[in-house]
Chain A
Amino acid sequence: MTPSRKILIFGGLALATLGMLYGLHYAIIIEHQTLDEMGGSLAQSFSAAANGNMTQSTAALQGYGSTKYDYVRQVDIHSHWIGLAMIMIVLGAAFDRVNFSETLREWIAVTLLIGSVVFPLAVLLQTYHHGGVMFKALAVIGSGLVIVALAATAFGFARHSGSA
């Protein structure tokens, strides 16, 4: 097995396991409480408004927005880690058909691995620092690495079919 395939398959299996462990941890410890908090904040916002307390209503609505911000990202991290892991493993199985030198294939594999780890991780870090520009930039860089690696892979496959 070539080093590039090893990087993709082993990295993918490790990433899938990480994504599932995160999902399990999230489902058991965080998800139910988060959903309760989200629903509770929205209900409290309407309830406070019904009682004429608009200050409390606005605060509860802000709480809802903040909790939902975290919830969306926490679910996305789980699905993106596992999804990217699956793509890595599948590409690993066919990576010899990418018609580049092995050195370039290794670079593509490493780029995809780094992007696949960093992109969801940066999204996770955003839940600890809402609106953090550095983490947003990190997510952009991570997703950019994934896109570049995928584009190079697609080009490599096309070169192969073209020359076959």
Chain B
Amino acid sequence: MQLRFVFQEKMATLVKTPLMLAAFAPMSARRLLVFGGIALIAGGMLFGDIFAVFVLHQNAGAQAAALIDASRDVAVGNSDASNAIFAKLGALLEDRGTKVDAHVHITDAGYLALILALVQPYIALTQATKKLLAGLFLVGGVCLPIGIFLIHYVGLAYSPFAVIGWASVLADSAGALLIVVLMTEAWGFWKYLGPRELSEVALPAENSMPARALLSGGTLLVLLGFLHGAYYAGAFLYQHEQMETDILGRMIAAASRNDLSTANSEVNNFGDLAGAHAVNIAAHSHVIEFGLLAMLLSFVQPYVFLSEKWKRRWVKVFLGGSVILPVFVLLELNLGLVAGGIADVGGLAVIAALIGMMVGILRYTGKLDAREGRA
């Protein structure tokens, strides 16, 4: 029985191979985009985990300390010192903001790379042009987050502009490059709509359990993320925005009365509110992004050259991590750093599953290339 199954599997692989080869040719645009996309996403998530562990909470603590210092300066009537503290606070916010943006943009570039890999057959351009576009997209996808990350450290050094530094110029140029690539791809798609002939072989559809689980699980994750986002926006967003200015107003008023105890208490309230807002936004965005990624990964499952058992394992690890991270990010409000730690483990599970699948694809391409005599 098992022998017959192995035979059928080998036969199926042999039948599929020419199609697979055509759909995943060496150094083709699609292969570049699949590998580049997964690498960008895994890199972006690893960066996000490192940021969450080593920067996020420390940065929030430094912001609270700066607000307490500013309240003290208000109490003693020292406006110059207060302004100096806000310059420091601005730097802290920039430090945090640019790291969040770098994390978001590197993973989003990865998602876009996978999406472009998916739609390559519908882009009526030459293979050389598509390969060039894929290369340019990956260059832009790497340079954009690097530029954003460097904004805080480079600042306005040697910049001829009043408010834009060289790191911003790098980030904006990389963003413009991505736009040009996307517009060219859209033009290629427009050209396809005339004759409607595929420019290359479409990705083979796979109706296996891992592919189905990723597709339906991914759609459900996206749906859950939207429901959570809509609930948060409807129930809390405007309330939180109003609360922020109210808390700041009370903080300033207390400090001006030299009531530092109340002012410090309001600083804590401010931190709690910022935390509540941040975890809701993070849970909302992460669950949607993981859902999207799950759907994307369902399309590359035919290329994951691992045993069915291991393919299923990685899918379970991926979907498990995709639920654990956002749920425990939300629970940080009640459970504190323990929940944060579990959320980080969820993130690492997603990264591990991604790397596991990428290893499977690498094994697959190695096998294809060896068969073609390229390895």
Contacts and interface: CB of A to CB of B under 8 A. Distances in A.
Interface of A: 1, 6, 9-10, 13-14, 16-17, 20-21, 23-24, 27-28, 32-33, 35-36, 39, 42-43, 45-52, 54, 57-58, 61-62, 64-65, 68-69, 72, 79, 82-83, 86-87, 89-91, 93-94, 97, 139-140, 143-144, 146-147, 150-151, 153-154, 157-158, 161, 164
B168 to A, nearest CB: 8
B369 to A, nearest CB: 26
Contacts of A158: 216
B266 interface: no
Nearest to B116: A89
Contacts of A153: 219
A135 B87 CA distance: 35
B186 A49 contact: no
Given A79-B104, A86-B112, A150-B226, A52 B215 contact: no
Interface of A is mostly: helix
Contacts of A28: 164, 172
A132 to B, nearest CB: 12
A59 to B, nearest CB: 11
A140 B226 CA distance: 12
Nearest to A96: B205
B53 interface: no
A20 B234 contact: no
Interface string B310-341: 00000000000000000000000000000000
B77 A52 contact: yes
B296 A46 contact: no
A13 B188 CA distance: 11
A20 to B, nearest CB: 5
Given A21-B179, A36-B163, A46-B79, 6 more contacts: A10-B190, A16-B182, A46-B73, A47-B83, A86-B292, A94-B298
